Structure 1
């Protein structure tokens, strides 16, 4: 596990980086000399930081001139943060409505490296319920949320994402390897929703559907979990349609109005 460097030199470097970024944000283009004067830092230090930031893609340099400017990478980071905040706020209303309708547990989840992270949750109104918490990480290969987010990714990306993941057998229903997962992902794409058939926990079923950003990219999933004692196969289509309706409304709230799956 990596540790955070709180040494004075490290903190000073962070302050210098953000000082440069702030100055670049206040002026479209600026040279090293003017920038060093503005933030009261030596030209050599400013130049060194700028070159590192340029290598990382946060700063651009116009040709061979001495002028530097911010790239769009910071905008992309900010947009992701804004998208995340909007997502939880918009999803809460739809999840609350669906929770009252179904009385079952609902989760909002997002991909984080090789796991799913719960961003929001509505608890079941029944005493017999799924126990989980916001912020908890779950595997991609054995959850409906993981499958729905991976389903439309290229096979090479899925394999790379799971290259260092051990397929732990939580139950006898857990998928054995990435090849078995890829077969199921094809089925998910065809039907428009994903399932967890007691793959994480005995006696628990889960259905998940995708949520889209305004650019039409799947950024999260919405799932409904319920114990087998309350699941009836004849209700599957209704549950999935209710999930699709809620996910379509969440996606519309994020600016995407062409949700591709049928609703009830």
Structure 2
């Protein structure tokens, strides 16, 4: 039973507790009607109904035909599986990223797609005093980051257009891509050359090179990058960085079950 003490909590906390109380009850038995569910979680039927309708609209709960029976969908399972996948990805990536850091002494990032942005899910800091400052969990735009470009370049054009339709393009520097059309025009080149670049597009004085990481289905699930100040950029070193990134990302992709890394 869910304690009636939740009614004494602040509204936001109480609502969260009620949602999870309903989810837990639905998880313990395959289906529930509103009357039975309201008794089980100790809430009024109107409150249970209101929460169920919201959860249904978000895809976490389904209604059995025309009946008043409700069941959980697989969306929670999908969320859990995604979290576990990221844990495995990060654990495997850490070894490769530290090896890259040892050779380059630069900041190494691992980023994943989250709605219309990238999120840094792992990093190894530069060994230099002058370095890129970032944090795990930070979000950055897709259009102005090397990782963002590789996350998009291997996706179907229709999917890319749908993702970018929700994006507001804001210029961080004079080099920042200003529109979806301009970005999409770059993606074929990114895919052909096997890497994406941020040439002072997100931040003045900072460059970044990124390559894709594939899962066992050949889907790009992350981008791995090297970031460095422009004052340490050496044109002759660029292809060496790309080769090191491809080697590391190829090993990581193989650990994720994809053994046909294309570069």
State if a TM-score over 0.5 links the two structures.
yes
Q: 1:175 to 1:57 in 2, by over 3 A?
A: closer
Q: 1:96 deviation in Å?
A: 0.8
| Number of equivalenced pairs | 255
> Would the aligned equivalents of 1:141 and 1:167 in 2 still touch at CA under 8 Å?
no
**Alpha-carbon distance in structure 1 between the residues aligned to 2:97 and 2:85:** 17
Q: 1:35 to 1:131 in 2, by over 3 A?
A: closer
1:37-186 equivalent positions in 2, closer than 5 A: 37-163=39-165, 164-168=167-171, 170-171=173-174, 173-186=175-188
Q: Look up the SS of the partner of 1:68 in the other structure.
A: strand
Q: 1:259 deviation in Å?
A: 4.4
Could you say which residue in structure 2 is the equivalent of 1:3? Answer: none
Q: 1:17 deviation in Å?
A: 1.9
Q: 1:229 to 1:16 in 2, by over 3 A?
A: closer
Q: 1:104 deviation in Å?
A: 1.9
Q: 1:66 deviation in Å?
A: 4.1
Q: Look up the SS of the partner of 2:102 in the other structure.
A: helix
> Would the aligned equivalents of 2:253 and 2:261 in 1 still touch at CA under 8 Å?
no
Q: 1:243 deviation in Å?
A: 0.9
| Correspondent of 1:198 among 185, 200, 207 | 200
**Alpha-carbon distance in structure 1 between the residues aligned to 2:177 and 2:34:** 56
- C-alpha RMSD over aligned residues: 2.8
Runs of 5+ unmatched residues, structure 1: 1-5
**Alpha-carbon distance in structure 2 between the residues aligned to 1:115 and 1:73:** 21
Q: 1:7 deviation in Å?
A: 7.4
**Alpha-carbon distance in structure 2 between the residues aligned to 1:144 and 1:203:** 15
Q: 1:130 to 1:234 in 2, by over 3 A?
A: same
Question: Structure 1 length normalisation: TM-score?
Answer: 0.82
Q: Look up the SS of the partner of 1:236 in the other structure.
A: helix
Question: Structure 2 length normalisation: TM-score?
Answer: 0.82
Q: Look up the SS of the partner of 1:245 in the other structure.
A: helix
